[in-house]
Structure 1
Amino acid sequence: MAVESQDMQQGVQAGGFEDRRVNTGDIELQVRVRGTGDTTVFLFHGVTANLDVWRPIAEDLAAQFTVVAVDQRGHGRSDKPASGYTHTDYSNDVIALVEQLGGNGGKDVVVGHSLGSRNATVATARRPDLIDGFVGIDFTPFIETEVFDSLEARVNGGDQHFADRDAVIEYLQNRYQKIPREAIVRRADYGYVRDGDGLRPLASPEAMAQTVTGLRADLAPFTEDVARPALYIRGAESTLVTQAAFEATRRLRPDLGYQLVDDADHYVPEEQPRAIADSIRSFIAGL
């Protein structure tokens, strides 16, 4: 499995992707690049996750686009500074990556799940001259305080030491009950590192605590300021983005796109990857 070392071989791998380190001027981020299309799609995961959760979607889209999946700051194999986990810090990373890896003759589109959706929204609001549009999956304005309280408890409870790979997989499957086993295995194999006689998460616990606190910041002003096309997607069974929050966002910006994905809770990209890949393609076709 891929947990033996935190260092990853850079360059083109047998799976048809290239792992790179990108210096943003502040930190270094780990990215995985597939495809060679003129349009570049940037994929940003949710809190505690990693770039490999996007694998089926990235492989699907790479037939048509250049696809850049990102380990966000504090996560995976990217740098983990002691501080700097606000929406400004994260969106600065999004902007730096688009500046460095986009501009290939087509569109530059950012796609985010959960934390990544928040960051995509903020970055697009800040830089409409740079980003041509975004797809935000299961994170919108108007998420209720009690929902954030529950999320914070789950995230802070994830910093554990596990005896072996099987223990990691069992923990993740119990935590994410609708995510298919093959997606759970991807999370386990990429997102954990050997530590003594067991395994621990690559995601920094200090970074996760700061990040989940930062998610409470009001997203509505940034959504109001978005001047590019956008699509918000919600899992039909999501308890993080309630129907009330989703409809309040629609009332705030009725001109943006909205989509409900059946048979999915919060973790839509891993539970319904084909539907998300199709939605991204359709969104780009309409730009």
Structure 2
Amino acid sequence: MPHAEISSALRLFYTDDGSGDPPLLLVHGWGADSHQWSWHLDALAARHRVIAVDLRGHGYSSVPEAGNTPRAMAEDLDTLLDRLDVPEVIPVGHSMGAQVVSILAVEHPGRVRALVTLDPGYGMSQDLAASFPGMIAGLRGEHPHAVAEEIDRWCTTSATPAVIRRWHKRRLYGMPPHVLAEAFEAMFTAPGAIGVRPASDDYLARRGCPVLSIWADPERAAWEAGLLRHPESKVVCWEGSGHRLHEERPAEFVRVLEGWLRTLGKASGHGEGPGSADAAAGPFV
């Protein structure tokens, strides 16, 4: 499996399967890696070129001593696509990965044909954000992995399969603690972070491409629907799912994604506006 030389100090692990333009770029969440897409790779690669990458500090990629932030990760992806001679992609990002691909879409709009975000790591309320400094302190404390495990409990419900719980717990305990702390802080509390409202609103409104966003929380789904400007954008809500909803419902995720991709560039003829959703996708905003 290949690594790409992003700089003299950074190599990114990635896989590259299938064919079809524009390719899909799969971007995992905080404390995970590209194995997160094992539930979906075969189905997606049957119709598309699919590039699945380990972000800096994660998986089989290099672990910088500093700079493990969503903005740096987005720049890494831009460089990776240059290395692969891929001019345009449809990035698919989960959680922190949704921040990363949204930054890619804003800062490199010519690179992104359309965008897919899965239970994104943005749009947090100020009330929820009040707990983040304590979490970050814990991630920098004596037992960072135990703190990360406690944070991760928010990601599951009683219906989350045990194999998903176990995989992510094991992956978190394999993560470098400084990456967990630095990336979490950069998402939510550091200067320039876009994870908490109103910073989320101001930055995400700059995405000019079509966006498909799938949420577990109806309130945050409705909030993002109000930000989307492109008429081909859709927001879907699977209320009751866990944070890793695409892992819990892999076949449904692939079906919704493929259905939306087939609509891109076509006039709907139904007068749908930004933020609308297909009823067949489940509960929606």
Note closer, same or farther for the CA distance 1:49–1:244 as it changes in structure 2 (3 Å cut). Answer: same
1:224 is displaced (CA, Å) by 1.3
CA distance in 2 between partners of 1:148 and 1:262 (Å): 22
Where does structure 2 lack aligned partners over 5 or more consecutive residues? 194-198, 265-285
Does residue 245 in structure 1 map to residue 220 in structure 2? yes
What is the letter of the counterpart of residue 48 of structure 1? G
Q: Does structure 1 residue 264 correspond to structure 2 residue 245? A: no
1:207-256 C-alpha deviation (Å, 9 max, x unpaired):
11011111111333331111111111102xx4xxxx33332222222543
Whether 1:182 aligns to 2:163 is yes
- Higher relative CO (Cα under 8 Å, sequence separation at least 6) belongs to 1
Within-5 A mapping of 1:98-247: 98-101=81-84, 103=86, 108-139=89-120, 141-148=122-129, 153=135, 156=139, 159=145, 176-177=156-157, 178-184=159-165, 186-187=167-168, 191=171, 201-216=173-188, 217=193, 218-235=199-216, 238=217, 243-247=218-222
Moved more, 202-211 or 26-35: 26-35
- The TM-score normalised by the length of structure 2 is 0.74
Higher relative strand content: 1
Q: Distance in 2 between matches of 1:49 and 1:141?
A: 17
What 5-or-longer segments of structure 1 have no aligned partner?
A: 1-18, 161-167, 193-200
Q: How far did 1:278 drift?
A: 1.6
- What is the alpha-carbon distance in structure 2 between the residues aligned to residue 58 and residue 35 of structure 1? 9
Question: What's 2:283 paired with?
Answer: none
Count residues in correspondence.
Answer: 244
Task: Using the aligned pairs only, state the percent identity.
Answer: 20
AA partner of residue 159 (structure 1): H
- Of 255, 258, 261, the residue aligned with 1:284 is 261
TM-score calculated relative to the size of structure 1:
0.74
CA deviation after TM superposition for structure 1 residue 53, in Å: 1.3
Superposition CA RMSD, Å: 3.0
Do the aligned partners of 2:16 and 2:49 also contact (CA within 8 Å) in 1? yes
